[in-house]
Amino acid sequence: TAIAVKWTGVQSQAVEVEMASPQMSFVALLKAADDALQAAQKLGGANAQPTELPDVVLTWGAEPPAPGQWSLQRTGPGRVEVRGGGREELLSFKILFEACAGQPEGDVWQMALVPEESLAHVQAWGSPGTDFAAYRDRFGRLRPVPQILADRRTAAQADALVGPGYRICYEELWRRAAKVEQAVHGRLGASRSQAVVVYMGRGEIIGPAILGVLQAGHHVVPVDVHWPLERAEAVATDSSSPLALVEPTSAQAWASLGSRVPEALFVDRSFFDAPDDGAGAGTAASVEALDEGDPAIVLFTSGSTGRPKGIVLSHGYVTALAAGRAECLRMAPETRTLAYHSPTWMPFIDYFFGPLLKGGCCLFLPEQSSHAV
């Protein structure tokens, strides 16, 4: 605690108040202030004019505050008045003084200092817009998106994914995601989460592919089909991925990388229409076992400052990101979002998962030679 003393025409003095504990009563504080004021008056000596009265600025730090904060002024023996730089400072002192007057021996540092409405307003600044209660389990942990979607089977025939030449309802989306889930589970098992590259453009395949990988208990590494092949190879290598999912428009490019990249699982319309062979069946337990701390998606940086680096997004993070965006944009079953982003960008997560959490629809902008940004 420091009490800074200033006398007009005399060099500023600082009087340190040594305390045995961090607590200080209002009575002790006023006494320390008055003692410091008297000491400053003596320091004025012959150079001090009778009208020149010292100030005391109270601060919670070791250094005196800048001008403009409220301070005390000794106007006579036993009389100390407040002087503030504005309405807020004077109101602050009034609240503090009234609180301390009611408890003169109470700890001054624990007393009220700002109006209740101002305190509530400031606290609201740092408060989340939602507590995500609808997305938490009974222990308060954020539920992974696959778990939430499994429990919220929306209107079966409502549009889920729409684009040029296809319209996938929720019932069909769940069926296709289950096919991918079974295939991935059959290749990798579910003993631990492994990275699965999804090398696909925006279209009818990528949605079920991403959901299927997550439902199988593994995490997605999206690779942009517009990237140079060298970068796609580097990402696959850095992520230690044992499997890649490709579709008709990306399969040839991936195959050109040969043995330098993981094996590919080819996913097209015939893949979804093929009869179940039983491989990987019974993987519902994989979804139930997912935890908010498990990896869900790995996004790689642009590499503008060097080699691209993988950023791991946990299931809890993805849920908070997508749900937060859905709440912010007031998404509902009637919502249709336009996903024109690369699947390697954060906004893709917002506009893909967000509407699904609300029973809405994601519209995929068709792939061109480059992305619209």
What is the CATH number for 185? Answer: 3.40.50.12780
Q: How confident is the model at residue 372 (pLDDT cuts 50, 70, 90)?
A: very low
Range of the domain at 58: 2-125
Residues 311 and 165 in one domain: yes
Residue 370 lies in a domain: no
Of 270 and 19, the one with more pLDDT: 270
Domain count, the chain: 2
Residues 120 and 139 in one domain: no
Predicted confidence (pLDDT) per residue in 234-252, tens digit: 999 999 999 999 999 999 9
Are β-strands 295-300 and 361-364 bridged in parallel, bridged antiparallel, or unpaired? Answer: unpaired
Residues 200 and 288 in one domain: yes
C-alpha span between 239 and 311 (Å, rounded):
10
Q: How confident is the model at residue 318 (pLDDT cuts 50, 70, 90)?
A: very high
C-alpha span between 258 and 252 (Å, rounded):
10
Residues 160 and 209 in one domain: yes
C-alpha span between 96 and 108 (Å, rounded):
8
Tell me which DSSP letter residue 46 carries.
Answer: G
Residues 229 and 139 in one domain: yes
Helix (H, G, I), strand (E, B) or coil at 64: coil
pTM (predicted TM-score): 0.68
Residues 47 and 148 in one domain: no
- Can you give the pLDDT at residue 150? 87
Out of 4-13, 69-78, 170-179, pick the least confident.
Answer: 4-13
Last residue of a domain, one of 108, 125, 142: 125
Last residue of a domain, one of 109, 125, 141: 125
Out of 36-40, 145-149, 216-220, pick the least confident.
Answer: 36-40
Residues 341 and 268 in one domain: yes
Residues 105 and 163 in one domain: no
Q: What percent of the chain has pLDDT over 90?
A: 52
- Can you give the pLDDT at residue 174? 93
Residue 373 lies in a domain: no
Of 38 and 229, the one with more pLDDT: 229
C-alpha span between 373 and 368 (Å, rounded):
12
The residue assigned the tokens 């004019």 is 49
- Can you give the pLDDT at residue 304? 72
Please compute the mean of the pLDDT values over residues 160-183 and round it to a whole number. Answer: 94
Tell me which DSSP letter residue 66 carries.
Answer: P
Q: How confident is the model at residue 69 (pLDDT cuts 50, 70, 90)?
A: low
Residues 105 and 147 in one domain: no
β-sheet with 336-339: strand ranges across: 166-169, 159-163, 361-364, 336-339
Please compute the mean of the pLDDT values over residues 281-294 and round it to a whole number. Answer: 78
Q: How confident is the model at residue 63 (pLDDT cuts 50, 70, 90)?
A: very low
Please compute the mean of the pLDDT values over residues 68-81 and round it to a whole number. Answer: 57
Last residue of a domain, one of 83, 104, 125: 125
- Give yes or no for residue 342 having a pLDDT over 90: yes
Residues 196 and 342 in one domain: yes
- Can you give the pLDDT at residue 303? 72
Q: How confident is the model at residue 85 (pLDDT cuts 50, 70, 90)?
A: low
Sign, CA torsion 116/119/121/123: negative
